[in-house]
A and B are shown apart, each in its own frame.
Chain A
Amino acid sequence: MRPSRREFLQWSAAGGISLSLSRMASAQTPSFLDRETLPGRGVVHPAAGRVDGVAKVTGAKLYASDFRAADLPGWPAETHHALLLRTPDASHVYEGLALDGLDASARPAVIVTAEDIAKIGLRVPAFYTGDLFCPLGKTPLYLGQPVALLLFDRFDAYDRARVFLRDNPHLKFGAETGPIVGPNYVAFRFTRVAGPDPNGPDLYSPIQEGWIRPGFFEGSGRPIWEPLPVAEGGEYVKGANFGTQIRDELAKPAASTLVLDRQFETQSIDPMFLEPEAGLAWYEPDAKKLEIVLGVQSPFEAAEALAHLVGEAQPDFRPAKIDAQFCYVGGGFGGRDHTPFPLYMTLAALYFPGKPVRLAHDRFQQFQGGIKRHAFKMRSRIGVDRATGLITAFAADHELDGGGLANYSPSVAVVGATAAIGMYDVPKVDVTTVALHSRGVTAGSMRGYGTLQTMTALEVLVDEAATSLPLDPIEFRRRNALKVGGRTMTGNPYSVSVRAPEILDKLDAHAIWRDRAAEKTRAKPGVLVGTGVAVAAKDYGTGADCSLGSVSIDAEGRITIHSDSVEMGNGIGTALANRVAGHIGGIADEVTVAQVDVFDELELFKSGDPYSITQEEQDKAAADPRWVPEISSATSASIGAHVGTQAAAEAARILFRFGLWPAALAIWGIAPGDPRAKQHGEAYWQGETLVISGLNPLPLKAIAAKAHAMGGVTGAMTHAFSRWAWAQATFDVAGESWTADIDALALRQGSGEFTRLDRKAVAFPPADYNRIGTSFSSMCGTTLRIEIERATGRLTIAKAYSVVECGEALVPEIVRGQSQGGFAMGVGYALLENLPLYEDGPGNGQWNLGRYVVARASDLPLHDLEVEILPPLSPREPPKGMAEVVMIPVVPALLNAIFDATGHRFQSLPVTPQMIKGVLA
């Protein structure tokens, strides 16, 4: 099946703009979609490997930064260029541009400033609230805030200006005002007190009582956490009273209780995806059409955001149609999820009408303007019963530096806070969190999403608790590990497998851990040896996750898959192909991802906010069989395997059950009334051959041909939605009632078109599931041995082992690769990477690699890095997200190993050789 190009669904009518989102496709062949349909029909590729493998080893145009106007059929040949200028100062009044130093050959044709865009009626989407450009006479809101967009006709002029402006001051500033003070982005308190019976109700929990936030703030914006006895914030008082009791207990512990009270700080870092953000856009004023090419993790959101931006703009700046196309992404790690970059790309095109214009960060600009990981300050207190080694209570206070725009700060704060007790079962928990505005570069989503910070602090604290008791660190963790059915700190259990004990047993038995004492004795002169261990439980999913997918088979048995998930290295295309093959036997040779324009037959629409909708609103809306809480979501939060493949997998299941199986029966000559006709669950695929006991094996190609000849089901298209549980719906398919974890379905018969089926019943997850912090979690543990050169503090990782559980590993080699990559990123975070938050940091435009250090191969134990993937507990256990959890334990394991080697517990990141040398002096 090949979608007809440019037959786009009108997704929304934001201000009357026809908005379509399509897959970036071929630039050099007449068929626009071919280029990014991988591996591609007729392409010779190795039997093993990723579906995008051949394209990536041959330098094919795949990424947004690869495309120029000449590559796109129908576009003008010449590409023009845009340069975004950002401020390195957020403490003085901005007084304008000083471009006099630019050579005449480097002058822009157009300059766009705050004063210009104020005249055209733009609307900044709520998520990006804040001035797009700093206006004259105001102090910039944050370091790196854009001040102007320069547009150039020729590349040479742009290139000269870029270099000159990078190296020379070009902005005027006036009086010193100090940084802008803004309100905090969010403040929440999560308190849980278990009842006397672990199986009985909690005395208090967020899921019972709702999430609470304080009603009072200091002048600085910091919350006042005391339970003030006044009406405002009354809902808050009940939880705060329980929280205060927990803190009082920790402040005045009984002699039988060990209490540790520690502070921990983490740094800001850059996602450092290797492809800087880039895009290309062309506004045709006569047709009033904006075409835009982007590479983001959240295509649906990006297109909606830019449509909102111009939805009420003046006529010359208001497209009637926006066609947004999305590319493969050169790394993301969260940093391309909800980035403001597309808004500036749009402005560049609108202010250069008729001219295709390219906006592309260089690395200095990416450091200056790209989304960062939040720096955290944390104070944590833990109480442990000395006799049993059980954690009795935990309290923590988190403070995040959110930088200049809110972006994802509120949810990073929540996710970090609700992960603060890691994989442990703690009966009394009280965690406060506040995300603060600052003049720093905006922080947002990044791999680990707050949990990396809070679980690092926790695992270092837990290790110290074990040492203090004293108790073996793994035994201490084992005694406190959450068991299946145990409750998280929001008061709900995980609804997936909980394998903490197994993870700990694996770590305990591993030679790195087992031989730790012996290895110390074998240390070379001048070298300190230490072994560390740590574990993590990481949520996956967001509580409003969507999946769109379709699977089709032609009469030759060739399979085509479409999905809305984005390929950013996570291997989603390969995972889709493998998961679909499990149902229908063949590996697809046409897989397209980041595609949301080929599901129009589902006729989906949404209303309301899936996170705040009431049950009544949801019930009412769900009566329309085309309504869903959300249509498409970002590829983030480790949802690739679990969510990203769900719609295509369910489509494949339906295609088999109602298309291929009836065709196979017909070939075998088995009548519908024959008992064997019901044995579809007994059949299985050996490669592309369908096997069932007692009957002749059938090749897929023959079955597909028969299905087409019969006019049977040859394609299925579905939508799935998860709010910590899948929506389930029932459809009448071929006279049978079919219930599945989807909420919309369309079928194709023979070579016909897809036709939507009305769902006969639907059960969306209850609205109050929004009180759940998470119910999906995967777990990982790491143990590693380090060697420290005493004279220099230089640290070498000698051996490492990580064990991860992720249900069914759809592509084990990709799970292993993600684990190895997570290990490397963990090493960088623990030991190397660091961005000063303010004037000396990346917002000053002077940062690049070299000054910013990420892990290289020589920083890693390349040939002694072992990854073990636990097999699923059952063949029915679905895939679980794992791309984030594999990074987390690496960081505290390193810190715990440093303690083991040096006797010093570092309480901030990164730990550098100079710091280690300092404590050894």
Chain B
Amino acid sequence: MTALSLTINGRAVGPIEVRDDLSMNDFLREVLGMTGTKFGCGAAQCLSCAVIVDDGGISATRPTCIAPAVDFDGLSIRTVEGHATGGGLTPLQVSFIEHFAFQCGYCTPGFLNEGQVLLERLARDPIPRADLERTITEALDGHLCRCSGYVKYHEAVRAVVLADAGRYLT
């Protein structure tokens, strides 16, 4: 057992005693009741379970289904529940809705986290317009969606970028 402490969506959580082999996904869903982060495969193949890990100003998504919760000790993470703040949706959340990006919505938390990480990366390090579609495809390609055919997810991310091109594009 390990006493686990971390920051989730800006709030300190723990210390909480957890089994060393408890997955991060089960920590979120079973221990904390935060079921916005989904369980899809348990094999890090669909990434519906991915959360954002903020590490020294660099953010990246990580699957939670195969990672022990104790690996997240001391880290700061963001989940789907933490994007909207102060009652307002983020531009990416709005774009997902307006583009009808998802259908059943079960994969949405993973796509939202990945898309947000991409936007933050582009804000730090803008890319040429010509590279945009390829960049989005590469960023989102690990995520599985069985309903949508992916097109609208990509359109939704692209729309956020193009709506603020000065921020995201060179």
Contact among B79, B96, B103 with A569 in the assembled complex (CB-CB below 8 Å) = B103
| Smallest beta-carbon distance A272→chain B, Å | 5
Q: Which of B33-41, B52-60, B121-129, B162-170 contacts A (4 or more CB under 8 A)?
A: B33-41
Per-position binary interface string of chain B over residues 124-153, scored 1 when its CB falls under 8 Å from any chain A CB and 0 otherwise: 000000000100010011111111111111
Given contacts A58-B84, A156-B22, contact A569 B41 (CB under 8 A): no
Contact among A63, A821, A862 with B106 in the assembled complex (CB-CB below 8 Å) = A63
What residues of chain A lie closer than 8 Å to B45, measured between beta carbons?
848-850
Chain A interface residue count: which class?
A: 35 or more
Distance in angstroms between the alpha carbons of A503 and B46 in the assembled complex: 36
Contact among A331, A570, A863 with B133 in the assembled complex (CB-CB below 8 Å) = A863
Query: Does chain B have a CB within 8 A of A131?
Result: no
What residues of chain B lie closer than 8 Å to A275, measured between beta carbons?
38, 40, 104, 106
Query: Does chain B have a CB within 8 A of A70?
Result: yes
Q: In the bound complex, do residue A62 and residue B144 qualify as a contact, i.e. CB atoms below 8 Å apart? A: no
Given contacts A58-B81, A364-B42, A857-B150, contact A159 B22 (CB under 8 A): yes
| Smallest beta-carbon distance A585→chain B, Å | 22
Residue numbers of A with Cβ under 8 A of B are 44-50, 52-63, 65-68, 70-71, 155-156, 159-160, 163, 271-276, 328-333, 362-364, 568-571, 811, 813-814, 816-825, 848-850, 854, 856-858, 860, 862-863, 865
What residues of chain A lie closer than 8 Å to B152, measured between beta carbons?
813, 816-817, 820
Q: In the bound complex, do residue A58 and residue B36 qualify as a contact, i.e. CB atoms below 8 Å apart? A: yes
| Smallest beta-carbon distance B84→chain A, Å | 5
What residues of chain B lie closer than 8 Å to A68, measured between beta carbons?
30, 33
Query: Does chain A have a CB within 8 A of B48?
Result: yes
Distance in angstroms between the alpha carbons of A61 and B147 in the assembled complex: 20
Q: In the bound complex, do residue B79 and residue A59 qualify as a contact, i.e. CB atoms below 8 Å apart? A: yes
Q: In the bound complex, do residue A570 and residue B103 qualify as a contact, i.e. CB atoms below 8 Å apart? A: yes
Q: In the bound complex, do residue A66 and residue B148 qualify as a contact, i.e. CB atoms below 8 Å apart? A: no
Contact among A55, A71, A274, A860 with B38 in the assembled complex (CB-CB below 8 Å) = A274
What residues of chain B lie closer than 8 Å to A818, measured between beta carbons?
103
What residues of chain A lie closer than 8 Å to B19, measured between beta carbons?
156
Q: In the bound complex, do residue B96 and residue A57 qualify as a contact, i.e. CB atoms below 8 Å apart? A: yes
Q: In the bound complex, do residue B146 and residue A59 qualify as a contact, i.e. CB atoms below 8 Å apart? A: no
Distance in angstroms between the alpha carbons of A332 and B34 in the assembled complex: 23
Q: In the bound complex, do residue B36 and residue A60 qualify as a contact, i.e. CB atoms below 8 Å apart? A: yes
Contact among B93, B99, B107 with A274 in the assembled complex (CB-CB below 8 Å) = B107
Contact among A329, A825, A854 with B104 in the assembled complex (CB-CB below 8 Å) = A329
Distance in angstroms between the alpha carbons of A625 and B142 in the assembled complex: 56
User: Is chain B's interface secondary structure helix, strand, loop, or mixed overall?
Assistant: loop
Nearest CB to that of B34 among chain A residues?
Answer: A59
Given contacts A71-B33, A860-B149, contact A850 B43 (CB under 8 A): yes
Q: In the bound complex, do residue B98 and residue A862 qualify as a contact, i.e. CB atoms below 8 Å apart? A: no
Distance in angstroms between the alpha carbons of A328 and B147 in the assembled complex: 14
Per-position binary interface string of chain B over residues 74-96, scored 1 when its CB falls under 8 Å from any chain A CB and 0 otherwise: 00000111011001110001101
What residues of chain B lie closer than 8 Å to A54, measured between beta carbons?
89, 97
**4 tightest CB-CB pairs across the interface, nearest first?**
A59-B36, A820-B149, A569-B104, A569-B103
What residues of chain B lie closer than 8 Å to A862, measured between beta carbons?
133, 137, 150-151, 154
Contact among A276, A363, A819 with B43 in the assembled complex (CB-CB below 8 Å) = A363
What residues of chain B lie closer than 8 Å to A824, measured between beta carbons?
145, 148-150
What residues of chain B lie closer than 8 Å to A328, measured between beta carbons?
104-105
| Smallest beta-carbon distance A641→chain B, Å | 14
What residues of chain A lie closer than 8 Å to B40, measured between beta carbons?
274-276, 363, 849
Nearest CB to that of B100 among chain A residues?
Answer: A813
Query: Does chain A have a CB within 8 A of B64?
Result: no
Distance in angstroms between the alpha carbons of A538 and B84 in the assembled complex: 42
Q: In the bound complex, do residue A821 and residue B103 qualify as a contact, i.e. CB atoms below 8 Å apart? A: yes
| Smallest beta-carbon distance A76→chain B, Å | 15
Nearest CB to that of A824 among chain B residues?
Answer: B149
Q: In the bound complex, do residue A821 and residue B35 qualify as a contact, i.e. CB atoms below 8 Å apart? A: no
Nearest CB to that of A162 among chain B residues?
Answer: B42
What residues of chain B lie closer than 8 Å to A59, measured between beta carbons?
34-37, 79-81, 109
| Smallest beta-carbon distance B36→chain A, Å | 2
What residues of chain B lie closer than 8 Å to A62, measured between beta carbons?
105
Query: Does chain A have a CB within 8 A of B118?
Result: no
| Smallest beta-carbon distance A361→chain B, Å | 10
Q: In the bound complex, do residue A45 and residue B97 qualify as a contact, i.e. CB atoms below 8 Å apart? A: yes
Distance in angstroms between the alpha carbons of A65 and B38 in the assembled complex: 9
